[in-house]
Amino acid sequence: MAIIENISGTRRNLLKGGLASGLLLAFHLPVRAANEPEQVPDDPTGKFAPNAFIRIAKDGKTILVMPQVEMGQGVYTAIPMILAEELDADYSKIVLEHAPPDDKLYANPIFGIQVTGNSNSIRAFWKPLRNAGASARAMLVQAAAQQWKVDPASCTASNGEVIHTATGRRLAYAALVDSASKLTPPKNPPLKDPKNFKIIGKPMKRLDTPNKTDGKVIYGIDAMLPGMKFATIAQSPVLGGKVGHVDDSAAKKIPGVHKVIVLDDMVAVVGDHMWAAKSGLDALIVTWNDGANGRVSSEQIWHELRAGSKKDGVVAKTRGDIRKGLSQGDKFEAAYEMPLLAHATMEPMNCTVHLTPDLCEIWLGSQVIARVQQTAATLLGYPLEKVKAYNHLLGGGFGRRLEPDMALSAVRVAQHMDGVPVKVVWTREEDMQHDVYRPAYRDTISASLSDGKIVGLKYRVSGSAVLARWLPPAFQKGIDIDAVDSAVDTPYNIPNFHVEFTRVEPPGLTTGFWRGVGPNNNVFAIECFMDELARKVGKDPVAFRRDMLDTSPRARGVLDLVAKKSGWGDPLPPRTGRGVSLQPSFGSFIASVIEAEVDKQGEVRLRRITTAVDTGIAVNPDTIRAQLQGGLIFGLTAALYGDVPIKNGRVQLSNFNDYRMLRIDQTPPIDVHIVKSGEAPGGIGETGATSGPPALRNAIYAATGIALRRLPIDRDVLAGRKQA
């Protein structure tokens, strides 16, 4: 089949013309936009392709085969910066291609599979991409030196050219493609000294911003194929439930409805357009057999979690003698609870599928494109090479698109389409009610205090083990390493320290990763506890923390900086307070101070947010600031409003009317201060989400003296209408 790569005019106009004339029916049309990574399979033919990541074409373009996906975190700018820096390429001529599904070539080095998550795109590929760039640069320099018959050491590279220093002769990388391709890549190419960086560290404008602004970007939900039908689905509202009976008589009378597909646990309506499909779905009368989970409720989930949290857990870390430590001084105990949360991505779940007896093609935005390919092939019984998965930019991921379920539901619909392409889009209500939810957690902490310091601290986190389902090899000896993240590596120097994990799975729900993953639970509990301990010994919360940071200078540095920049200690009006939080998460150190006011009705007004971060070498400072600002807003939204109530096995959410977001008029100034560092880069996409909630709670504590220990913020407690 021919491939159309260069399209003039809009895709919609092209498809209209093609469908009207019939001229496009013999073509395979990769769904892509001019500024997004190519959808065609990676092809190194005719290019200098020294490794899996780099292709240098004869037209002068440097192609980065992108191992990670862009979902707003800025990696489609930061990673090209890393490559361009070490390759000495012309940054303006770098073109991105989505890496095809391939765990062998494009596995995330931290996880061992092809995945974008855990705030580790920069951390994971910092060294591999630098090595790839340095290796390619060395080969290009060697190729030029051979042509000039000079010592490679007498040559340098800059901005996509090799330069002979003595004579000023230059050769563009494009002119060296053929000769460089014949060379053997060096095994350990020397990397640049950071002091010589020309691109890394500069505040570069995001490459994807212009076309996101003018609407040219194509997300998974925008994928269009000739002759495509549209579908939307209703899944069993209870996990494990089945379809009982479907009355589709009214649905089939709606103009544009193509067919109704009834499967064991879901019903799909297929139409000529999305409105027909949705109208048809609304007209269905479906009865469900709920099954074993039909009586699950929020009360049951919390009862089981609280009961489970009383059981001894598996030891994740221990230092010193915890029994002896807890027997000294004054003992203090507390328990903190975090609710189930939905992801609520701006782009609801969707997937486009073209299924024939010989080939399955899939278009979507996924954080795990290889897993999508693998699970679809298993479902269909196809060889892996007969499933092609094309990735797009993601309209929000937050961990939700670490799951392949939206693709599998679309493939199941496509099995009933007789070879006609179909785009399956979940409604917002379907998206909210069939999420893979952030686990509910209960954390119990015991500590002993002597001479104003912590002598011993025992921490038990109880909740779901997401890794046991999502990546079983990482779940060893009953410990979910994500669930205890930012607990086992707390920066505080506590001589007797003990962390346990107790696995308690909620009935009737599937849990998964949510932006901030384990740290958004552990940082909240530990940092709230630190404020309560500080008050118990009569010390300032910043000073109390600082006294335990003698072994963590990076943590102490951001704490000192945020205290200075936030005006910590300056007078405030009545019922107004400042709260602080400190964390080492995702390889970064971050401290935040939130200033908040609580009125007599219990309403909370954010006045100011100040954050200091040491994330190692700051690849793109602009992205770091933007990600921290966005993450703080994301986390504070959850702290103020986030919860997922369950009744009769059903999630009691419908849309943003009952899953509220923080609004623009509620968002205060957010100041981000970046510490200059020579350490390897840390993660940044999730750190704001984990930093905001404890700082807000501690601000409320300072303003009112009320020690909230459960999220979301309870306004009735703050107003005195009920007890905490």
Fold of 37-205: Aldehyde Oxidoreductase; domain 4 (3.30.365)
> DSSP secondary-structure letter at 9?
S
Higher local confidence (pLDDT), 432 or 31? 432
Asked if the model's pLDDT at residue 21 lies above 80, the reply is no
Q: pLDDT tier at 121 (50, 70, 90 boundaries)?
A: very high
Indicate the pTM of the whole model: 0.92
> DSSP secondary-structure letter at 341?
B
Asked if the model's pLDDT at residue 2 lies above 80, the reply is no
> DSSP secondary-structure letter at 472?
G
Which residue in the block uniquely carries the two structure tokens 């807890």?
A: 326
Q: Give residue 40's pLDDT.
A: 53
Asked if the model's pLDDT at residue 34 lies above 50, the reply is no
Which residue, 474, 480, 470, is CA-closest to 404? 470
Q: Where are the domains of the chain?
A: 1-30, 37-205, 220-290+349-425, 299-340+437-718
The CATH code that applies to domain 299-340+437-718 is 3.30.365.10
Among 39-43, 159-163, 247-251, 502-506, which stretch is predicted with the lowest mean pLDDT? Answer: 39-43
- CB-hemisphere CA count at 13 Å for 504? 26
Question: Per residue in 55-70, pLDDT tens?
Answer: 999 998 999 999 999 9
* CATH pick for 220-290+349-425 out of 1.20.140.10, 3.40.50.620, 3.30.365.10, 3.30.413.10: 3.30.365.10
Residue 345 and residue 428 in contact, taking contact as beta carbons nearer than 8 Å: no
Asked if the model's pLDDT at residue 145 lies above 70, the reply is yes
Q: pLDDT tier at 669 (50, 70, 90 boundaries)?
A: very high
Cα gap 389→373, rounded to integer Å: 6
Asked if the model's pLDDT at residue 165 lies above 80, the reply is yes
Which residue in the block uniquely carries the two structure tokens 């709920």?
A: 290
- Report the alpha-carbon angle 369-371-376, nearest 5: 100
Give Cα 539 distance to the centre of its chain. Answer: 37
**DSSP notation for 316-338:** EEEES-HHHHHTSSEEEEEEEEE
Q: Compute the average pLDDT of residues 714-721.
A: 96
Which residue in the block uniquely carries the two structure tokens 């009317």?
A: 657
Identify whether 348 is preceded by a cis peptide bond (ω within 30 of 0). Answer: no
Q: pLDDT tier at 462 (50, 70, 90 boundaries)?
A: very high
Q: At what angle do helices 687-704 and 517-536 cross, to 10 degrees?
A: 30
Q: What are the structure tokens assigned to 96, written together? A: 């991105």
Which residue, 84, 102, 106, is CA-closest to 93? 84
Q: Give residue 17's pLDDT.
A: 36
Cα gap 233→262, rounded to integer Å: 10
Cα gap 301→299, rounded to integer Å: 6
Q: pLDDT tier at 167 (50, 70, 90 boundaries)?
A: very high
Q: What are the structure tokens assigned to 365, written together? A: 């935005």
**Is it true that 220-290+349-425 and 299-340+437-718 share their CATH fold?**
yes
Q: Compute the average pLDDT of residues 158-171.
A: 97
Residues 6 or more apart whose CB falls under 8 angstroms from that of 126 comprise 82, 680, 681
| Percentage above 70 pLDDT, the chain | 94
> Backbone phi, then psi, for 542, in 5-degree steps?
-70, -45
- Report the alpha-carbon angle 464-513-268, nearest 5: 100
Question: Per residue in 411-430, pLDDT tens?
Answer: 999 999 999 999 999 999 99
Asked if the model's pLDDT at residue 9 lies above 50, the reply is no
676 burial level (CB within 10 Å; 0-12, 13-18, 19+):
exposed
Q: Give residue 207's pLDDT.
A: 86
Q: Give residue 32's pLDDT.
A: 44
Which amino acid does the sequence have at 643? D
Question: Per residue in 299-339, pLDDT tens?
Answer: 999 999 999 999 999 999 999 999 999 999 999 999 999 99
Question: Per residue in 265-296, pLDDT tens?
Answer: 999 999 999 999 999 999 999 999 999 999 99
Tell me the average pLDDT of the chain: 93
Question: Per residue in 360-393, pLDDT tens?
Answer: 999 999 999 999 999 999 999 999 999 999 999 9
